Amino acid sequence: MSADTLVGIEYNRVTNTTSTDFPGHQSASGTGTEATDFAWDIEKFKDQFEINISHITERTANFDLVHIDTSIANAFRRIMISEVPSVAAETVYVFNNTSVIQDEVLAHRIGLVPLKVDPDVLSWVDAAQDEKDKFTDENTVVLSLDVTCTKNPHAPAGSTNPKELYRNAHVYARDLKFEPQGRQAEMFAKNPVVASDPDILLAKLRPGQEISLRAHCVLGVGSDHAKFSPVATASYRLLPVIDIKEPIVGESAIRFQKCFPSGVIDIKEGRAYVKDARKDTVSREVLRHEEFDGKVKLGRRRDHFIFNVESTGAMSPEEIFFKSVRVLRNKAEYLRNCPIGQ
């Protein structure tokens, strides 16, 4: 591991944060023709770049991007949050709402319900089209919500539970029903449109109250509204580095272990060693104790990013990442082909 890629963590500051991986940069240690050129090279990048996957589930993924610049890693994070398209309710037509929730609040709650819809199936709405021709079966999904609360004639005697006393006392995301338009019955035959999380509570009703509405769902991106963001969270952190300079043994080793989160430091034969630096949160607690002064060096790998991506359910986390790569590639192609001066 090169010292140039280590960010130093001290008790009151962070050092060596500047990247050297850009054209024209030269090492300060060299002179004249002996100076080392740190210009970015595509072949060098191909040889060194790594993707290590820790775990992937239907909703979450944890993976490492190694030997990549911060600007690129952060671009992936930002694109996953705000530029990967997904589908959400854009317009809600309320026919009847006698619940205690106002129309606009109910519409907002429905808009934030993540939908299990493949965004590649739909096309973008053309804003230039006339209002009557703008929405078609190719760009709009219609969901209906028709719920009426009534008393349950078979409710247990003495019960105070609204779910037992009434029918449809609680309105959930699962009550949003897909209404195929045009060819959509065929388009979504294998994967009907449903809420990713069916147990999201939309409203509470009491006998005599009713909700009847239609929600029109379209493609969008998170930069327009958070409801279109396909991720609940997309974040990264640098790989922690803990370098024990001098042996730490005995009671001192036990105190040293307590300075870190569980699983980071272990003790073998009375001597402390780094078991899993990945679990460290870099709290700097160990730097507060004089007995460890000079015995440990904390840092982070500047070119090793630990990503954590949690999907809202519309797409798998790996698909979201792949699409972020595609978006970034398209941006690069656009800049490459864009005429100078435009």
Q: Which of 43-47, 73-77, 192-196 has the lowest mean pLDDT?
A: 43-47
Res 33: pLDDT? 46
Which residue would you say has higher pLDDT here, 2 or 199?
199
Q: What 3-state DSSP class applies to 5?
A: helix
Q: Does domain 3-21+37-83+233-308 have CATH number 3.30.1360.10?
A: yes
φ, ψ at 265 (rounded to 5°): -115, 135
The tens digit of pLDDT for each residue in 23-41 reads 555 555 555 444 555 667 7
Locate CATH 3.30.1360.10 in the chain: 3-21+37-83+233-308
The single-letter code of the amino acid at 190 is: K
Fold for the domain defined by 86-229: RNA Polymerase Alpha Subunit; Chain A, domain 2 (2.170.120)
Q: Model-level pTM?
A: 0.86
**Dmax of the chain from CA atoms?**
93
Span 207-223, average pLDDT: 96
What are the start-end ranges of the E strands in the chain?
6-9, 14-15, 50-56, 60-66, 86-97, 115-116, 141-148, 150-151, 166-167, 170-172, 177-179, 194-195, 201-204, 210-220, 231-244, 265-268, 271-274, 296-311
Span 153-171, average pLDDT: 92
φ, ψ at 331 (rounded to 5°): -65, -40
